[in-house]
Amino acid sequence: MKTGIKLIICDDQEIVREGLKTIFESDDSFEMVTTAEDGVDLFYKIDSLGIPDLVLMDLKMPHRNGIQATRQLRSTYPESKVLILTTYDDDHWVIDAIKAGASGYLLKDTTRINLIDAVKGTILMDQTFIDPSVAGKVLAMAANTMSRPIESSTPDIKPRDRQLLTLIARGLSNADIAGKLYLSEGTVRNYASALFNRIGVADRTQAAVTALRCGIINLNDI
């Protein structure tokens, strides 16, 4: 029998931890939902309960902050992913979190549905979720540091392709994109997958960065 998702919520505010725990425990996809009050407590929980599939990580915490905890987690347990959930959208927090190994970065004003979709998408489909308000910062950093050279030619890009890449670069989920383009979520998912194959990328972040690097979209579009 396939087991469910193992999740640890790491946040120094008890009301936040317990509120998030209630949200995820109401979803049958999650086998284990536990909490940790800071980056030190996180590793105590891992030692006693096992390695999680994903840690939902706050940033500003005592003893060991989210950046430090993310770096240690990804180094010690590379199979475990980190999704940042915070109130901070400052450049240095965003960039440091991604450099530390976080798979995504969301702000705490995100909706319940978007949060659950982001956690599931990160684990089950290896997707990257970036809050629209910080997407430009992350993509600018990635475009500047991306080792892959710019291709001399790009596949034929249609207006709808460019529109989809722009919405992806803004950090919109498939459901959000479907609403904007008046398509079903399944259609958007299939269209995005086919487009990623055409431009030679594996996920949303690579697609957005490649689109920026090749001039298909620019930062002013995001």
pLDDT per residue as tens, the chain (222 positions): 346 999 999 999 999 999 999 999 999 999 999 999 999 999 999 999 999 999 999 999 999 999 999 999 999 999 999 999 999 877 778 888 888 889 889 999 988 998 998 899 889 877 777 787 777 777 676 666 554 444 545 668 899 999 999 998 887 888 889 999 999 999 999 999 999 989 888 777 778 878 877 788 877 777
Question: Which residues have a Cβ under 8 Å from the Cβ of 197 and sit 6 or more positions away?
Answer: none
**CB-count burial class (<10 Å; 0-12, 13-18, 19+) for 75:** exposed
Q: What is the pLDDT of residue 144?
A: 65
Beta strands 54-57 and 5-10, pairing class? parallel
Q: What is the pLDDT of residue 1?
A: 37
* Residue linked to tokens 């034929």: 156
Q: What is the pLDDT of residue 142?
A: 64
Q: Give buried/exposed letters for 33-72 (b at 16+ CB in 10 A, else e).
A: bbbbbbbebbbebbeeeeebbbbbbbbebeebbbbebbbb
* Structural domains of the chain ordered from first start: 5-129 (3.40.50.2300), 142-221 (3.40.50.2300)
Say if residues 17 and 37 touch (Cβ distance below 8 Å).
yes
- 46, amino acid identity: I
Flag whether the pTM goes above 0.85. no
Q: What is the pLDDT of residue 18?
A: 95
Say if residues 83 and 54 touch (Cβ distance below 8 Å).
yes
